[in-house]
Amino acid sequence: MPQTQEAAKGLDIPEVKRADPLQHWSWSLSISRMPDYKLSVSDVYREFTLRCLHDDPDLFILSTVEDSAQSRIQDLPSWVPDFSVPLTRSLLAHPDLDVKIPYNASGETERSLTWSESTPTVITLRGHSIGLIQGVLDVEPHPSVPVLIGEVIDFTKNLPTIYSTRETKSEALWRTLTANIGNAPEYEYPAPGAYSEFFLSYVRKEDAGSETFSKNEDSQGAGGLPHSIARVPSGNKDEESSDTDFEDETANHDGDGDRHRPQDLEVAIGRVMKERRFFVTDNELYGIGPQSIRNGDLVVIFAGGLVPYIVRPKNNGSTAIFSLIGECYCHGSCQELAPGASDRNWENVQLG
């Protein structure tokens, strides 16, 4: 993510004085006015984030929150980005600042933001939980795309062959790993259907027992999906898991394979999955989120938000306050007409 080359003048904070990252964001987001630089660095960043949330109905600024382990400013609330640290991963709804992917996770529900000077590090948003993370794929850092695909295929082998959106398992998997968008400069949404055939080539290698995708099956109980997610075949054709889980689904993609190459899928997955991990929720939704996600985290849609977010309960006694872990893509939940969207129960969610 580029930062402004113009140094801020007359600022009292050394960290901001060298090159003011807030100027870049204020230009990009059309923020009404800049914060008071006489405050501490953490207070400046908090005040700026509040103004972004106030001026931008899409909650875009929350998507710039990185893993806390990468933060240089240690006393920031979880919902405040550390603007002194460059982004290490692409933004889902904005793979380029000039591009906006038409995700619409919250539909027509408008943003709701509450903040009080009495508790300045806490904000309250309206949110709806869509699942609890119950399985996180643990892979070596920075795996190649073919290895990652093989691990994901193995990780989900006991899950139903038909996804909640009525897509096949393979369709839901590759659309999750690409966040359902194509490559630059168009960033097609939904992603090109030709990717299905490219993904199925990896599935066939897996079925053939390719060494690239070999994995000790005994690790499924320890490092794979929890037993509460891994289903025993029920005899229902839609839910039964077998060697034919990944069926050929390329017949209805309008011949757009002529415009795309197999490498395009790898490029799309490589870009989106940088500094992200694959997860499955307790209701068998596929998703990708920040490296620090773990079992027990909640996937939440905030009113006004384009994409879901991952939050984690804080140890705050009886007060239900959550830490914001970061944005995520959860397949089938990033559009207004997602299954169950009309039944959403919006509640106050406090982030601290």
Res 259: pLDDT: 81
Full-model pTM: 0.80
Confidence class of residue 240 from pLDDT cuts 50, 70 and 90? very low
Buried b (16+ CB within 10 A) or exposed e, 203-229: bebbeeeeeebebeeeebeebbbeeeb
The stretch 141-169 carries a mean pLDDT of 95
Q: pLDDT (tens digit, 9 = 90+) per residue, 157-192?
A: 999 999 999 999 999 999 999 999 999 999 999 999
- Asked if pLDDT for residue 38 goes beyond 50, the answer is yes
Q: Band of the pLDDT at 1, cuts 50, 70, 90?
A: very low
d(CA 153, CA 210): 13
Domain boundaries, the chain: 14-88, 129-351
pLDDT at 260 over 80: yes
pLDDT at residue 243, rounded to an integer: 42
**Per the structure block, which two tokens stand in for 105?**
């996770």
Chain-centroid distance of CA 49 in Å reads 20
Burial zone of 65 (CB within 10 Å; 0-12 exposed, 13-18 middle, 19+ buried): buried
pLDDT by residue (tens digit) across 77-115?
999 999 998 888 899 999 987 899 999 999 989 999 999
| Identity at 257, one-letter amino acid code | G
Q: What are phi and psi of 42, to 5 degrees?
A: -65, -40
Structure-token pair, residue 149? 């695909």
Give CA–CA dist 239/161, Å, rounded.
Answer: 6
Angle at 65 between CA 59 and CA 71, to 5 degrees: 155
3-state secondary structure of 165: coil
User: At a CB cut-off of 8 Å and minimum separation 6, what does 210 contact?
Assistant: 150
Q: Taking residues 63-79, what's their average pLDDT?
A: 89
Mean pLDDT confidence for 178-207: 92
Q: How confident is the model at residue 237 (pLDDT cuts 50, 70, 90)?
A: very low
